[in-house]
């Protein structure tokens, strides 16, 4: 009996040994795979000290074995990185930095906390950044180049359309040409505006009197509202203003209000509001119009995305309005929130964080 138990024990321990061996082999493989990765991988302890790193991290941050335990901030001493690292809600998209060793190189840092430790991965995104820059330049150049020919076309079309002896069979053709060139002009202007907003990363900050700006947006909305006959209310609950670029903010907020008018059947109700919240100040536009089916909501801020392209064109839309809104809101570190229910209406809102808020009395 004892002999059998001994045999079983031997068998168990040799099974344990071989499973330990296979775990060790797997760990070795994972380590060598991480070492071979072209992206820099760094394991950080709960004191933000370096625990482990791969070859790419060694090359990028010039690490040596004596740097074990040293703070990551000794090697990445960039305010944007510290801000990202210390923020409670780390953005999913990581933080983009210009390399501190070579200003032509772009990096993206992504932090993944697990337990008390953190995994930091640094990607070289130089190629992507250059492609993105090429895309921006291309769109800006094409839009710019189209501007002059369009202005000439529109000018002549206007002159010809005014001719009293215009043959009736040409009239419809001229009408359509005038409409379509005007539409193309709106698309080109919106593309140029979008390019300017994207390029102007650091723009001059001014105090924006939100009461004045929203009253202006409201007056423009009333003028646009004549054929829709909606009842539009402006509700301003705080005198707090913002620091930013007034022209872009005006475009963004007007786009949201004009959309509420356009996508609400006649005689609807629209409420524009500016209120104080615990996180800052909130702008919102609520309508009781067409609403949007849930599958479209996430894609609305993409360029040229429309739920119903026929309706958008009919109402003079370019399909770029919400993309403009999204980019303007980026400048205030906020995002567009959309709540909508098909057939019942929508609320488009954004909370401007306290750092961008400015009280009227300061300026």
Query: How many amino acids of this chain bind ligand ADP (CB under 6 A)?
Result: 20
Please give the C-alpha separations between residue 171 and each of 153, 156, 174, 181, 203, in angstroms, as whole numbers. Answer: 16, 14, 5, 15, 46
Burial class (CB in 10 A: 0-12, 13-18, 19+), 196: middle
Contact present, 275 and 347 (Cβ < 8 Å): no
Encoded one letter per residue, x for contact with ligand ADP by CB under 6 A and - for no contact, window 235-264 reads --------------------x---xx--x-
Distance CA 233, CA 31 (A): 62
| 197 binding ligand ADP? (CB under 6 A) | no
Min dist CB 305 to ligand ADP, Å, is 6
Burial class (CB in 10 A: 0-12, 13-18, 19+), 34: middle
Distance CA 346, CA 270 (A): 10
| 319 binding ligand ADP? (CB under 6 A) | yes
Residue 141's φ and ψ, nearest 5 degrees, are -70, -45
| 352 binding ligand ADP? (CB under 6 A) | no
Q: Which of 286, 318, 331, 349 binds ligand ADP (CB under 6 A)?
A: 318
Encoded one letter per residue, x for contact with ligand ADP by CB under 6 A and - for no contact, window 58-97 reads ----------------------------------------
Residue among 208 and 323 whose Cβ is closer to ligand ADP: 323
Distance CA 292, CA 343 (A): 8
Q: Which of 317, 328, 352, 356 binds ligand ADP (CB under 6 A)?
A: 317
Q: Which of 61, 300, 329, 350 binds ligand ADP (CB under 6 A)?
A: 300
Residue among 54 and 312 whose Cβ is closer to ligand ADP: 312
Residue among 120 and 300 whose Cβ is closer to ligand ADP: 300
| 290 binding ligand ADP? (CB under 6 A) | yes
| 184 binding ligand ADP? (CB under 6 A) | no
Please give the C-alpha separations between residue 144 and each of 151, 168, 183, in angstroms, as whole numbers. Answer: 11, 35, 16
User: Given the rule CB under 6 A, which of 30-38, 76-84, 114-122, 284-292 is the region that contacts ligand ADP?
Assistant: 284-292
Indicate the length of the chain as a whole number. Answer: 363
| 346 binding ligand ADP? (CB under 6 A) | yes
**Integer-rounded Cα radius of gyration of the chain:** 29
| 292 binding ligand ADP? (CB under 6 A) | yes
E strand intervals along the chain: 40-44, 50-53, 95-98, 106-114, 117-124, 206-208, 231-236, 241-244, 269-277, 280-287, 337-341, 345-353, 357-358
Q: What is the 3-state secondary structure (H, E, C) of 293-310?
A: CHHHHCCCCCCCCCCCHH
| 213 binding ligand ADP? (CB under 6 A) | no
Match 């709960």 to its residue by tokens.
46
Residue among 188 and 292 whose Cβ is closer to ligand ADP: 292
Q: Which of 53, 228, 321, 329 binds ligand ADP (CB under 6 A)?
A: 321
The footprint of ligand ADP (CB under 6 A) covers: 255, 259-260, 263, 287, 289-290, 292, 300, 306-308, 312, 317-322, 346
């Amino acid at each position: 009996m004892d002999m059998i138990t001994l045999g079983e024990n031997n068998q168990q321990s040799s099974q344990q040994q071989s499973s330990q061996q296979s775990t060790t082999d797997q760990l070795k493989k994972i380590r060598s795979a991480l070492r071979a990765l072209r992206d820099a991988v760094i394991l950080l302890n709960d004191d933000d000290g370096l625990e482990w790193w791969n070859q790419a991290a060694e090359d990028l941050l010039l690490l040596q074995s004596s740097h074990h335990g040293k703070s990551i901030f000794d090697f990445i001493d960039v305010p944007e990185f510290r801000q990202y690292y210390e923020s409670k809600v780390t953005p999913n998209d990581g933080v983009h930095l210009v390399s501190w060793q070579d200003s032509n190189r772009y990096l993206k840092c992504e932090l993944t906390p697990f337990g008390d430790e953190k995994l930091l991965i640094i990607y070289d995104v130089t190629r992507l950044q250059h492609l993105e820059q090429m895309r921006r330049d291309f769109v800006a150049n094409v839009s710019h180049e189209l501007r002059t020919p369009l202005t000439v076309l529109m000018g002549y079309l206007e002159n010809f359309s005014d001719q009293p002896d215009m043959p009736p069979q040409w009239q419809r053709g001229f009408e359509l040409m005038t409409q379509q060139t005007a539409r193309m002009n709106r698309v080109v202007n919106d593309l140029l505006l979008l390019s300017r907003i994207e390029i102007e990363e650091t723009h001059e900050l001014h105090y924006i009197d939100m009461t004045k700006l929203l009253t202006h947006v409201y007056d423009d909305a009333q003028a646009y509202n004549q054929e829709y006959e909606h009842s539009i209310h402006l509700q301003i609950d705080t005198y707090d203003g913002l620091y930013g670029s007034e022209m872009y903010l005006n475009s963004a907020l007007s786009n949201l209000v004009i959309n509420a008018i356009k996508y609400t059947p006649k005689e609807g109700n629209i409420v524009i509001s500016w209120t104080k919240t615990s996180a800052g100040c909130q702008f919102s536009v609520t309508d009781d119009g067409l609403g949007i089916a849930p599958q479209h909501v996430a894609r609305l801020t993409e360029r040229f995305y429309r739920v119903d392209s026929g309706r958008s064109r009919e109402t003079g839309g370019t399909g770029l309005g919400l993309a403009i809104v999204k980019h303007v809101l980026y400048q205030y570190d906020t995002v567009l929130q959309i709540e909508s229910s098909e057939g019942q209406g929508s609320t488009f809102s954004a909370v401007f964080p306290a750092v961008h808020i400015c009280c009227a009395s300061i300026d």
